[in-house]
Amino acid sequence: MPLSTIVDPKAAKAPGPRPVGHPPVKIGKIGVMLVNLGTPDGTEFRPMWRYLREFLSDPRVIELNKAIWYPILYGLVLTTRPKKSGANYARIWNREKNESPLRTYTRAQGEKLAEALRDLPNVVVDWAMRYGNPSTSSVAERLVAQGCDRILSFPLYPQYSATTTATANDQLFRALMKMRAAPAVRSVPPYYDEPVYIEALASSIERHLATLDFQPEVVIASYHGIPKPYFEKGDPYHCHCLKTTRLLRDRLGWDERKLITTFQSRFGAQEWLQPYTDKTVEKLAKDGVKSIAIVNPGFSVDCIETLDEIGREAAETFHHAGGKNFAHIPCLNDSPEGMAVIEAMVRRELSGWA
């Protein structure tokens, strides 16, 4: 006999009576937390130093032994890099809100998702950063304080890497370790090959290319790199990136010469995933390619790596090497296509809860 004929589901979920004098308890809500990488609170030396220290102290990001890495981090990196990085951030800083574009866009995604999920009154949407503010722990505590006994965490990285998705999950569980009554938790899996994501990327690319006054000979799908040893130890990130490009190429009807994969943002002396974006851009120009466009499928929102590293540095490299026409295709951000991806993934992963 079906369970539904024996037990009324609503009655089964109804809270029982509390003893006289029992303090009020908020329960029964579901928190959805969008989690992005992070951002400094300002472009000056101190906020940049705090952000870089937290980021580069993560053992999943830098896997060197602390006895080797920390003297380099505190003796060299944190004495020189904050000033340079601060200057880069200053070029893209949202002056109106006095924050980085990553924070602006992530907040907008959270607000639009909350509006899209208004048909689920017991769902509370918030957003957090793995590094910087608002911190993952503070947002988790805020959701629990609102009565969320279940939390769906959404690390906003389409392709999985231990340096991104895993460290976002690590930070959430660190927060739960400090809670007496910790909520149940789910994490949205990587969505590098989800049809809604591939369609959103393709539609965004097509729409942007239609606004250009030139036709790019080559479009580069540039992903954030990871050290090659991380891949060799089993990180699936490289495979996820290649599959995203392949599916995107199939959807757009392009061949392997039209849409290529590269990796950017390398740091330190060791070898990273190749081909490198900057070297590829330079070589294309020297080989006679006059028009290119670059898209960043691995970034859910525009940030320092897309707006400055690609929008400025890659453009300068291409032009200096002889290229003529350069375009950076924006990330999905809080566009209708981007929000369609986020909403679809959240609704699917809320199944059985909401």
Sequential pLDDT tens for the chain (354 residues): 554 555 555 554 555 566 666 555 566 999 999 999 999 999 999 999 999 999 999 999 999 999 999 999 999 999 999 999 999 999 999 999 999 999 999 999 999 999 999 999 999 999 999 999 999 999 999 999 999 999 999 999 999 999 999 999 999 999 999 999 999 999 999 999 999 999 999 999 999 999 999 999 999 999 999 999 999 999 999 999 999 999 999 999 999 999 999 999 999 889 999 999 999 999 999 999 999 999 999 999 999 999 999 999 999 999 999 999 999 999 999 999 999 999 999 999 999 998
Consult the annotation and say whether 305 binds a ligand: yes
pTM: 0.91
In percent, the amount of the chain with pLDDT more than 70 equals: 92
**In the chain, what are the domain boundaries?**
29-190+336-349, 195-329
Measured over the CA atoms of residue 319, residue 320, residue 321 and residue 322, the dihedral's sign is positive
Helices (H), the chain: 9-13, 45-56, 66-72, 78-92, 101-116, 136-145, 167-177, 195-209, 228-232, 237-252, 277-286, 315-320, 336-349
Read off the pLDDT of residues 171-184 as tens digits, 9 standing for 90 and up: 999 999 999 999 99
Residues 109 and 62: their CA atoms lie apart, in Å, by 29
The answer to whether 29-190+336-349 and 195-329 have equal CATH topology is: yes
Strand partners, 128: 35
Q: Which CATH class is domain 195-329?
A: alpha beta
Contacts of 317 (CB under 8 A, 6+ apart): 278, 281, 282, 285
Strand (E) or helix (H) holding 313: none
Integer-rounded Cα radius of gyration of the chain: 22
Strand partners, 219: 259, 293
Residues 337 and 203: their CA atoms lie apart, in Å, by 8
- What is the CATH number assigned to the segment(s) 29-190+336-349? 3.40.50.1400
Residue 268: the pLDDT is 87
Q: What one-character-per-residue DSSP string does 155-217 give?
A: E--SS--IIIIIHHHHHHHHHHHT-SSPPEEEEPPP-TT-HHHHHHHHHHHHHHHTT-SS--S
Residues 267 and 181: their CA atoms lie apart, in Å, by 40
